[in-house]
Chain A
Amino acid sequence: KAGVTQTPRYLIKTRGQQVTLSCSPISGHRSVSWYQQTPGQGLQFLFEYFSETQRNKGNFPGRFSGRQFSNSRSEMNVSTLELGDSALYLCASSSWDGNGDTQYFGPGTRLTVL
């Protein structure tokens, strides 16, 4: 099976702009989670979607939003970008394997805000 794919791999934006990142899960996986990775804060959970519904959300401002489509592909959007939003954004897909769900990560999108 193909792994989790994320596009684009690299993005450069300026403060105040908005950005949309895309994630295609492993075929058959219906849950997609998003994480932000920074040197200072480490890996932090943004939100999780399942069957087009957000089931869980981390402690991020409302500028961070997401959605999931009927084919399980997911997008996240960050509006009014700030310098501190520069990070590696990772998405992960998962499927119940009878022993709990295990998350498989994509390569990430590196966002730089200037």
Chain B
Amino acid sequence: GDSVTQMEGPVTLSEEAFLTINCTYTATGYPSLFWYVQYPGEGLQLLLKATKADDKGSNKGFEATYRKETTSFHLEKGSVQVSDSAVYFCALREAGGTSYGKLTFGQGTILTVHP
């Protein structure tokens, strides 16, 4: 079955540091890939997405590129802020008619940014 693996957390960085959160996936076919962010006490917010190989999703300074050859979708940001402290989830949606409405999530990576 489909699966998503994220790097182990938590990740602790100083403000303005470079961020990478690794995400690899296993899926049949050509899934769509997503990054969501969850702030304390809230639901998930879509951060960015990519729907085909070599697509780059970007939003609020975050970027991720869909790499089919390495089955990866690593999240990066050049300079993190304290306000980026949250839990980040990588997710995939399998292509095809039997995967209606189902996202498969990684386990989440807790990011803490210190001033």
Contacts and interface: CB of A to CB of B under 8 A. Distances in A.
B93 A104 contact: no
B46 A58 contact: no
B105 A55 contact: no
Contacts, number: 66
Given A42-B105, A99-B51, A100-B51, A56 B43 contact: no
Contact of A56 (B45, B89, B102): B102
Contacts of B102: 33, 45, 48, 56, 58
B47 to A, nearest CB: 11
Interface size class on chain B is 20 to 34
A60 B88 CA distance: 25
A105 B36 contact: yes
Nearest to B106: A42
Given A102-B49, A105-B36, A56 B98 contact: yes
A50 B97 CA distance: 13
A53 B99 CA distance: 14
Interface of B: 32, 34, 36, 42-46, 49, 51, 89, 91, 93, 98-108
Given A45-B102, A92-B103, 8 more contacts: A4-B43, A32-B101, A43-B89, A45-B101, A45-B103, A48-B101, A103-B103, A107-B42
Instruction: Kindly list the 4 A-B residue pairs having the minimum CB-CB distance in the complex, ordered from nearest.
Output: A48-B101, A33-B101, A55-B100, A43-B105
